[in-house]
Structure 1
Amino acid sequence: MLSVFAVSGVRYGRLDSNVTLACGKSPTGIPVVWHLNRSSALPWHRVTSDGSLVLLQVDQSAQGNYSCYDDRGLLLHSVRLRLGHPPGLLSISCQVPNHTHVRCSWLESVKTFLPAEYNASFRPCIVDFSRKHCDVDHPAFWQTIHTLRVTETNALGFETTYVRFQLHKLLKPDPPESVLAQQLEGYPKRLNVSWNFPSSWPLHDAFPLMFQIRYRPQGSMYWSEIYSEDSSVVIFDALAGHIHQVQVRARDEVNSESQWSEWTPQLLIRPWEGQEDNTKYYFFPVNTEPETSTGKSHNPVHEDEGNLGLVILLVLFSVVILTTVLSLVFVVWMRQRRRHHATKQELTSMVKMKSMPI
């Protein structure tokens, strides 16, 4: 089957098919000689009676500059051959980082090996050909379902791909930014974590975010979690003396069907240990710049006094329980003793009565 298309002096043919190249307007019956890149070595082929070159089941090695000459060596015609495939369906995905912007990108399901153009229809979608994506500003969130149509065109044909989606379900903020974890001086079990809204989420007041913070001692399998509408939280149950892993992510607070952002990069931080100049952030990778602690000072002796009071209370409670048990045992013993004494008196009386004369 003939599968050649001409564009600006270039012939395009399908890979794995037969490709026919004509020798210009050469007279029929005149023998011609074909060269590929100035060499007489040609791929698997045959030459027809009119001088056309038929390349059989071509692969990438058949690409190049073809020239045909008459029997005197005179150049009759030359052409450049490029090989590839027509477009196939695209794999399209759309990202919605906020309520004012949508970016849809695509990947080829068929490697065409040929230059292509794209046309997108969605409100409209402004196409970046080199990066294979298009952008929509201020999309209609009130519309339930949107349809995007992307058409890929190359020298061998075109293909149109349709995709339908719901913006409110694709809404996925970028991760929070400038995340910091701080020690709180005087509190060996507390950490302060703060962050900024993603810079790609411009309308903070109109569209608030919900934040999820997770943390765990380094090496543990289990995460603890906190949810917050603010841009900072205090962790109250950190494990004293241990480095902790901390991460934050965000989601639209109102839209329950939206997606959580990716987690922020991991932070490593150890709670306060009672040493001066010990407030540092341990990032992944480690950042050794010191930070200013924002926590209020506190005397840890109060925590020890609280523990001592609890011990004294437990001891007093134990003494009361023991006294009660001993009292119950004594009462039971006294009752048993009185009952035994009464029984003995009754037996003595019966013996005396039997011994008396009638």
Structure 2
Amino acid sequence: LGKIFQVSGVQYGRLESNVTLACGKSQIRIPVAWHLNHSSVLPWHKVTSDGTLVLLHVDHSAQGNYSCYDNRGLLLHSVKLRLGHPPGLLSISCKVPNHTHVRCSWVDSVKTFLPAKYNASFRGTGQEWRPCVVDVARKHCDVDHPAFWQTIHILRISETNALGSETTSVRFRLHDLLKPDPPESVLVNELEGYPKRLIVSWNFPSSWPLHDAFPLMFQIRYRPQGSIYWSEVYAEESPVMIFDALAGYPHEVQLRARDEVNSDSQWSEWSPLLLVRPWEVSSTSESPELLLPDYIFPFNTKPETSTAKPPGGIIITVKLIKDHPEDEGNLGLAILLVLFSVVILTTILSLIFVVWMRQRRRDHVTKQELTSMVKMKSMPI
């Protein structure tokens, strides 16, 4: 039989087990009648000689308000039955958006169908347990100013309901979980008069505290729309100038961020993709690039990486992309055709020369033979 858990007129039972409902505290054996939600129709059950109701292998349909009456129809006892499962282990994951905050959330491995309470605590190696503030509705808890200098941290969460309790513990390294939120307010603008330049600007993630000495490294990637190759620029501050945009083509641009000091940290997710077209030269305007040309980057058939360090200590890394692959393919085909034609022509001329030389030698030999025959005929016998 299932155990009896009765709290303030509510009795809890375990699904798929037998649940016993007593008709009050009286031990007098009198005939009783049970009703469920004012109906005499009950789930699969039996009634013992002392008036106890035993529900057999209960499911959700057995939940409700149960009442027992004596043979005169007087109410003896009533109770509300709720059914569910005891807690199981939790699936826990933690996010560390900056050095001052940790948020851990969890998912139940067992659907209990019952209200639960959660108690969470957090500590670094060798430290005292401290509370992780729980939000029951959203099933997460928060820790402010964790001990980032500790290598290993432990989080334990206990789930309790009317049928039991279960505690789940996880161990992790904050340095490995540190993952900033994506950069915000990302803008990409053309630069008037410069068809190969773009200006990229952004703000730090609002969740990243600027007053603390934790700098971020930003990665910008961009490519002409339709290209499979990305170019990349790394920077510490906004804005950044792109010098090698492909004139006349719309470009896709994205940003992400990472803690500059902690090499074990993770890159943020990419910011939403932005599409922008560089400034285009008009037939009536004169481009300032004639006076101040952009840096010229060679385009190769395979992506390469070049690194330069401009003033201010900003490291710029550019992956070169393939430019006009169709034009390069047509040019290469034309060169191959010309070379092939030259080889064929040379071969034909060589054959003609060889045949001509052989014919010339043959004519010379024939001429000598005729001369010899004439001389032999003119000799006296």
TM-score class, shorter = 0.7 to 0.9
**CA–CA distance in 2 between the matches of 1:192 and 1:47?**
81
**CA–CA distance in 2 between the matches of 1:206 and 1:136?**
20
Partner residue in 1 for 2:239 = 232
Query: Is the contact between residue 120 and residue 126 of structure 1 (CA under 8 Å) also seen in structure 2?
Result: yes
TM-superposition CA deviations, 1:282-316 (whole Å, max 9, x none): xxxxxxxxxxxxxxx95244599x99xxxxxxxxx
The residue correspondences of 1:1-358 to structure 2 (distance < 5 A) are: 1-122=1-122, 123-203=130-210, 206-274=213-281, 298-301=287-290
Query: Is the contact between residue 185 and residue 274 of structure 1 (CA under 8 Å) also seen in structure 2?
Result: no
In structure 1, the residue corresponding to 2:160 is in which secondary structure?
strand
Which one-letter code corresponds to 1:64 in the other structure?
G
Which one-letter code corresponds to 1:206 in the other structure?
A
* Cα distance change of structure 1 residues 243 and 204 upon mapping to structure 2, 3 Å threshold: farther
Shift of 1:182: 0.4
Query: Is the contact between residue 2 and residue 14 of structure 2 (CA under 8 Å) also seen in structure 1?
Result: no
**CA–CA distance in 2 between the matches of 1:275 and 1:250?**
37
**CA–CA distance in 2 between the matches of 1:275 and 1:23?**
93
**CA–CA distance in 1 between the matches of 2:224 and 2:51?**
79
**CA–CA distance in 2 between the matches of 1:165 and 1:196?**
30
Query: Is the contact between residue 6 and residue 12 of structure 1 (CA under 8 Å) also seen in structure 2?
Result: yes
Partner residue in 2 for 1:325 = none
**CA–CA distance in 2 between the matches of 1:25 and 1:157?**
25
Shift of 1:232: 2.2
**CA–CA distance in 1 between the matches of 2:53 and 2:177?**
53
TM-superposition CA deviations, 1:103-134 (whole Å, max 9, x none): 11111111111011111111321111222111
TM-score (norm 2): 0.71
Shift of 1:171: 0.7
Which one-letter code corresponds to 2:231 in the other structure?
S
Query: Is the contact between residue 281 and residue 287 of structure 2 (CA under 8 Å) also seen in structure 1?
Result: no
**CA–CA distance in 1 between the matches of 2:25 and 2:215?**
72
Aligned residues: 286
**CA–CA distance in 2 between the matches of 1:70 and 1:240?**
93
Which one-letter code corresponds to 1:217 in the other structure?
P
**CA–CA distance in 1 between the matches of 2:224 and 2:73?**
82
**CA–CA distance in 2 between the matches of 1:37 and 1:275?**
82
Query: Is the contact between residue 156 and residue 169 of structure 2 (CA under 8 Å) also seen in structure 1?
Result: yes
Which one-letter code corresponds to 2:221 in the other structure?
R
Shift of 1:15: 0.6
Shift of 1:194: 0.7
Shift of 1:273: 1.0
Identity over the aligned pairs, expressed in percent? 78
In structure 2, the residue corresponding to 1:168 is in which secondary structure?
helix
In structure 2, the residue corresponding to 1:255 is in which secondary structure?
coil
TM-score (norm 1): 0.76
Shift of 1:223: 2.0
**CA–CA distance in 1 between the matches of 2:103 and 2:221?**
29
TM-superposition CA deviations, 1:172-192 (whole Å, max 9, x none): 111111100000111112111
In structure 2, the residue corresponding to 1:61 is in which secondary structure?
helix
